[in-house]
Every structure is written in C-alpha cells, then in structure tokens.
Structure 1
C-alpha cells in the first residue's frame, strides 16, 4: 500500500507553520492588564514562553493586600522548559514538511491539539490556584475568584482584562497552515 504524500505546495504550508512556531518563542503568549483610578495608565503582566514581563513588582505589591501569592518566574516552572518544547515542535513541524507524509501530518496535528489543550488547562490551573488560595491573614478580604483567561473581570476597584498575545496567534496560524494540506490534498 502506497503512503499518501503531501504536495510540494502543502509542504510549503507546513514549512511556513514551522517558521511561525519558532517565531512564537520571541513574542508574548498571554497578558493581563489592570486598571484602577490610582493606575489610569494601567499595569500588566506579560507571559512569554520563557519569562514574565510587565510591572510584576507593583502587581505583586497590590496582590499582597488580598492575600494572593506572588507572580514570579520561580512560581511557574513551565517557563524554564516551555521554549524548548516549542523549539522541538518547530523542528517536528519542519521534519513533517520535509518527509511529506500525510500520516506524519496527522500525528503533528494531534500533537498541536494535545499541546493546545494542555496549555489552556495549565493557564486555567494557575489562575485558579492564584485566585482561590488567598491568604486568610490578608489585610483586605475578598471572596476567592478565578481571573478569566480571556475577557474582563473586576476585583475591588481594579478592572482586569486578559487576552492572548502575538505568540498565541502565531501558533494558531501555524495550526491552520498544517490543516490546510488535509483539505488541499484530499483528492490526491
């Protein structure tokens, strides 16, 4: 039985996907912005695959008042290895393009889907942990809450907005690029 091969154009789509996956390492994947009357310019937490950025110290100082744990790279062990996983995914995607086998492409699509689901679960787990494990000795008492992964929320006088960063959009575009060959080469 002859294995189905990807066309040259389809392989080019997959090469482009590999480039997008590799590029995503250098861009934020998720961010949360905080606005309040005393911070009209806003504060933010920016999450890259390998680091946290933004006004982390100020946010931690404010979160202390409601008993929330500190945001730090040490508290997110994923940041120490996630960039390597993404680099490996980029290499796997490029290898799929070079091997041009549909069966390997199906496996790559599965890896993207499982990785995406694990990423969403991990983000939810961390947000749940930070928002529901508040210190009982905090100066300001608030009910436990789960900050939204996407969208807006209000805690006290702070309005928070969470949204995806460019890196996440690059990964989504890469996923679309690896699915296109299934449609494009469906009659081959």
Structure 2
C-alpha cells in the first residue's frame, strides 16, 4: 500500500481544520429557537437556545405558560447548558487532532462520535419538549390537552402558533459534519 493510501490528503486535512473552526464558531450562535405568535404578540416572542444559555423573552413566555400549567423555562431546567460548551470544545479539539493525524480510522471514529452526539442531542431536546408539554399542572387556570412542540415546524396551542427552527449554530454544526464526510469520498480507494 502506498503512503497516500495510509493517510488523508493535505486538502482533506484542511477541510477537517475548517470543520473544527465551524464547531467552535457554533458556540457563539443560537442552536435552536421557538417563536410564538398570537394576536396580542404579532411581532412574536422568542425562546433562543445557545449551547450555554437561554435568551429571548423568557419571562413573558413563562408568564403566559403559567396559565396552562407549564413549568418555567430557565437555565436551571436545562443542566446541559452548564457543560455543553466543554463538550463542544472537546469535539473541536478532537477534530483538530484528526486533522493532524490524517488517519481515516480516526476520522471514522470522529464521524461516529458526532453522529452519536447529534442523535443524543435531538433525543434530549425531544424529551425536554415532551416533558414541558405533557406535564401540565392540573390546577392551571386554563385547561388544555397535553401536547409536544415539534423540534422543527409549527404547532398551535390555543391562540398561539409556535414555530421551532434551527439556529445558525446548528447549521454550522451540520456544515462541520458534512465537511468531515468529504475526505472519505475524496480520499477513497
């Protein structure tokens, strides 16, 4: 086997470095958000999720959710926000190490790790949305049927239409993952 067959090309290594940069950049942008529209809020209310904090009109949304018996959204109810930055930083470091080592086997491992992390992240968000929408207080002033907001898409509860969308940070992570796949195709044998 020739040397080229044992190592990824320099071009592939540069793509992996770019992937690491996208992973780091994702830390500075929202990963996901929910936008709530109602006649009394035509401009919309937001819950914006960064990897380390919540932003948006959280207090107003919590005040409204009180009427249907939903728990408050807060950074305390999402413990992932306390350590997710470190996990993402570690992933970026592993990605850079993969670029330096230039081994396909290491790249396969990294892609597997990112796939598992992505699946776990989606399942965690799905569980949180399920818990918030189905654990409604029976003593709430307004009675509604339990519901599960979608991860992506829209949902209607009473007079509120909710749109759930990916943020720029999520798109950067998707781009980082796709960049890792290119070397597998480019340096195939």
Query: Hey, what does 1:147 align to over in structure 2?
Result: 149
**Structure 1 residue matching 2:6: 3-state secondary structure:** coil
Give the structure 2 partner of residue 184 of structure 1: 186
Q: Which residue of 1 aligns with 2:36?
A: 34
Which residue does 1:51 correspond to in 2?
A: 53
Once superposed, what is the RMSD of the aligned Cα atoms?
A: 1.0
Q: How does 1:109-124 map to 2 (within 5 A)?
A: 109-124=111-126
Corresponding pairs, count:
187
Equivalent residue runs for 1:1-188 within 5 Å:
4-187=6-189
For 2:9 and 2:44, the matched residues in 1 are separated by 49
In 1, distance between residues paired with 2:112 and 2:44? 39
Structure 2 distance, partners of 1:172, 1:66, is 35
- Unaligned 5+ segments in structure 1 are none
Q: Deviations over 1:104-163 (max 9, x none)?
A: 000000001000000000000000000000000000000000001000110000000001
- Please state how far the C-alpha of 1:4 moved relative to its aligned partner: 2.0
When normalised by structure 2's length, the TM-score is: 0.97
TM-score (norm. length: structure 1)? 0.98
| SS state at 1:107 partner | helix
Distance in 2 separating the partners of 1:166 and 1:28:
6
For the residues of structure 2 that align with 1:152 and 1:74, how far apart are their CA atoms? 26
Identify unmatched segments of 5+ residues in structure 2.
none
Find the aligned partners of 1:180 and 1:103 in 2 and give their Cα distance: 15
